[in-house]
Amino acid sequence: MGNNIETGTKAKPFLKWAGGKGQLTRAFVGFYPAELKDNKVENYYEPFVGGGAVFFDIAQRYKINSAFLSDVNEELILSYKVIQRDVDSLVGQLYKLKCRYEKLDVDGQKEFYYSTRHDFNLNKSRFNFKRYSKEWIPRAAQILFLNRTCFNGLFRFNSKGEFNVPQGRYKKPRILDEPNLLGTSALLQGVQIGLCDFREVEKVAGENSFVYFDPPYRPISKTSGFTSYSKCRFGDDEQIELSRVFHRLNEKGAKLMLSNSDPKNTDKTDGFFDELYGKFNIFRVPAKRAINSDASKRQEINEIVVTNYKLSS
């Protein structure tokens, strides 16, 4: 895979994503391994792909032989695969949803949103996420529609795996971004996309591999704990297990980069990540994140970036 996108359009994440790295990709360029910039990385792995901002950035900047994107979120992986395989049909489905939604008044749009969300959750129990079929296309359209019209673009599920985000207040949400979907589909050709746990990457990554870990962030305050973008929670035990995978992959010679929240934003004595990754390089990067429900009081905070390699000058 290379830097060219057939549509001529620069692709970007197609989903709004809590903790997405869109605003940080420019800063992240300085943290990528020199081997990536020198076209010496053969395989790229992203086990918590989420919105995929870092993948989109890397795939359009550098030449890599293969990429493997994975996540435990069934709906997310479904969306990636539909865009990869059947983007034209998906665009058609989204166009229909867009037209229906925009013809309605405010009350009608509210009813349509919650009716779509209800159908989406109702069908989950009998949906086959393991075998690709044409049934995946309308479900992917529902996912993108809900993501674009829900509150704050959250992609959140409860313990039952049900999407539970209320409707957002948008006058003209961009339900269909056809040029970006076409560009994304072109970029995803030849990419392996898998529904699996982050531990699986340990079986395949090694020398000449670059692995970027972007797990659900550790909450930095009692009100910012967003660790359930899927029905699988990701707490301190999982963060610790991830650090063990990081250590073992380091022994295999893979180039590794990880990002997370910085607990020291709110508690200067909290060295959770400093202890887990003490033998590696830890950097603190300024980022604009909402750590206060009052928008006027939101401040720039630090995020952590960990690498197992020295940065090139």
CA–CA dist 140, 142 (Å, integer):
5
CA–CA dist 208, 221 (Å, integer):
38
Q: What is the pLDDT of residue 300?
A: 74
| The two three-digit tokens of residue 269, written as one number | 């004595």
| The two three-digit tokens of residue 170, written as one number | 């948008």
Q: What is the pLDDT of residue 225?
A: 45
Q: What is the pLDDT of residue 155?
A: 81
DSSP string, 200-241: GHHHH--TTEEEEE-PPPPPSSTT-----SSSS---HHHHHH
Q: What is the pLDDT of residue 161?
A: 84
Q: What is the pLDDT of residue 232?
A: 61
Taking the chain (313 residues) in consecutive chunks of 10 residues, what is each chunk's mean pLDDT? 46 81 79 93 96 94 94 95 98 98 96 98 94 97 96 84 91 94 96 97 95 89 47 84 98 97 90 95 81 52 94 79
Q: What is the pLDDT of residue 291?
A: 44
